[in-house]
Amino acid sequence: MTSILYRGGSVHSAADPFAEAILVDDGVVAWLGADDTADGLAARADRVIDLDGALVTPGFVDSHVHVLETGLALAAVDLSAGAGVRSAAEALAALAAGARRLDAADPLGTETLLAFGWDEQTWPERRPLTRTELDDVAGGRPVYAGRVDGHSAVVSTKLAASAGVDRLPGGDAPDGILTADAHHAVRDASRRMSPERRARTQRAALESWAARGVVSVHEMSGPHLDTHEGLAGIMAQAADPADGLPHVVAYRAELCETADDAAELAALLPFLTGIAGDLTVDGSIGSRTAALRAPYTDLVAGPDGTAWYGNLYLSAEEIANHLIAVAGVGLQGGFHVIGDRAMDEVLAGLALAARIGGAGSLRAGRHRLEHALFVDAAALSSLLLHGVSLSVQPAFDAAWGGTTGMYASRLGPVRAAALQPFADLVGAGVPLAFGSDTPVTPVAPWAGVRAATAHEDPDQRMSARAAFRAHTRGGWRVAGLDHTGAGELRVGAPAHLAVWRAGDLTVQTGSERLSRLSSWSREARAGQPLLPDLSEGAPEPECLHTMRDGVVIHDQLG
């Protein structure tokens, strides 16, 4: 295996906060230290890279991704504000242009036009698209236009008819938005493709993570997201670092009632880390399908003024049975949980599983929850008691949080202000990992770190160091892989790293942020490794180079 010496920069390492150079040999960190010492190592390295002041850090882990969906989104019509779509009229224009492009490639009109990322909350019309509008702009072609949160969609008449949505729960909303089973059905219908196209789409997504400094992803597969064969294909493509893709941790969301159910799935997919992930206890706040204790403030369910509380998909008994079954075959269990009513059901399920299967067995399962926006004091104590980890998305808070964002419009500003209490989670010691939930929010790990430091409530802001750790070592820890040393740059650790052009570097000492120029002394550095400046307005670090297990999987350094 090739040995590479990186020199002339800064290395983010708690083992040596002053390191300017690092040697990777045989897939592991072989040495790190000062540039003057690196002179004697250059001759033994197969490649010497002059960092020119760049920053070397542990590579990021994205702890919640959807590989196939992300690959499809890369080639689909982007209806997000980030793509410049700021109204329903602009969304329809983008769909019309996408339909014309697809007509040229598929003149028979059989392929579905896919679109992602619309959010009516950001549009002046304050309404979603309609089925009739999709029919008009696409000329009768099947169209799937997914909302930004991935829990609802508007589709064309042709696609709706092929999936039989009028006979399914969630298919009869007056505004034409499909949720629940109806949404699952149209999503399935729109993802039918050849194995070759599926593999190309998955690879494109994995390559996009490598280009952003991500060395490992937690794939959240499920029946309405990808097939068993599709998940096996992802794992096969990413098994060998030499193939140039990030490491993949596999989760599959299929509810198990007994240990036999779990054993059957584990035998079918022997690479699984957990039967967990997007096993949904409820939906999302944006689609008003998250299960709440108090009703949504911006919706009533009927003309009689009936309040709407969202959808609860699993009971405490089902949750408990699943956790016991999955732990019985040595795998992690876990669930998607958004609303506070859904969290209550999860906590009841945890308590029931502890009574039936034993508290020690439950803790040993290292179970995990995805998203977990509502974590009050009761939830926090229960999660700690049962050894549950959290995989959270700080980008959700940046996009929709605070007292004036989408969460506030759905829940009211008081309830919205209590969401995603990052500092409480860190302070209590809950194992924490960060992810993007891509394609719901973009693959932008430094933006995720920044978001966790910028919560609207100052008391809930994480330090940059803690947030960075959650997005690096935290991902390995939640997957049970931190014993390998992954997520840190120290001698003997696996060489999972990224190189960044990062502008000013900073270190936090108490409440003081010190620039690189003023913080080079040991006293000022306080033994803490440097990070990019993540303050508001600071430029986003640019990924120049990514390495997984000593193999370069992205390179702009020549």
Least confident residue range of 190-204, 229-243, 344-358: 190-204
47: left (phi over 0), alpha (psi -120 to 50) or beta: beta
- Residues 95, 184 within the same domain: yes
Asked if 549 and 493 sit in the same domain, the reply is yes
Q: Are 498 and 24 in contact (CB under 8 A)?
A: no
Identify the CATH number of the domain in which residue 496 sits: 2.30.40.10
Are 77 and 8 in a shared domain?
no
Same domain for 47 and 74?
no
Check whether 524 has a pLDDT greater than 80.
no
d(CA 243, CA 256): 34
Higher pLDDT, 428 or 302: 428
**Are residue 76 and residue 168 in the same domain, yes or no?**
yes
For 114-165, the pLDDT digits (tens) are 999 999 989 999 899 999 999 999 988 999 999 998 889 999 999 988 888 8
Per-residue pLDDT band for 223 (boundaries 50, 70, 90) equals very high
End-to-end Cα separation, the chain, in angstroms: 19
- Residue 178 and residue 77 in one domain: yes
Domain that holds residue 38: 4-59+488-555
Q: Are residues 112 and 168 in the same domain?
A: yes
pLDDT at residue 305, rounded to an integer: 77
Would 350 be classed as within a structural domain? no
Tell me: do 176 and 95 sit in the same domain. Answer: yes
83 and 170 fall within a common domain: yes
Q: What is the mean pLDDT of residues 81-109?
A: 92
Whether 433 and 389 have beta carbons less than 8 Å apart is answered as yes
Residue 120: inside a domain:
yes
Domain with 123 in it: what CATH number? 3.10.310.70
Q: How many structural domains are present in the chain?
A: 2
In whole angstroms, give the CA distance from residue 125 to residue 89: 9
Average pLDDT over residues 339-352: 98
Residue 338 falls inside a structural domain:
no
The answer to whether residue 533 sits within a structural domain is yes
pLDDT of residue 504 exceeding 70, the answer is yes
Phi, psi for residue 212 in degrees, rounded to 5 = -115, 20
DSSP secondary structure, 275-322, as one string: E-SS-BSS--TTTT-S--SS--TT-BSSTT--B--------HHHHHHH
Alpha helices in 59-147 (DSSP H): 67-75, 88-105, 131-138
Structural contact between residues 68 and 50, judged by C-beta atoms closer than 8 angstroms: no
- Claim to verify: residue 27 and residue 106 sit in the same structural domain: no
In a domain, 162, yes or no: yes
Q: Is residue 165 part of a domain?
A: yes
Confidence band, pLDDT 50/70/90 cuts, at residue 506: low
Domain boundary among 190, 218, 253: 190
| Domain match, 78 and 186 both | yes
Residue 517 has pLDDT above 50, yes or no: no
- Among 190, 205, 230, identify where a domain stops: 190
Asked if residue 458 is part of any domain, the answer here is no
Q: Is residue 85 part of a domain?
A: yes
Task: Work out whether the CA dihedral 38, 503, 550, 525 comes out positive or negative.
Answer: positive
Picking from 159, 190, 221, the residue at the C-terminal end of a domain is 190
Q: What is the arithmetic mean of pLDDT over 408-432?
A: 97
On whether both 508 and 526 belong to a single domain, the answer is: yes
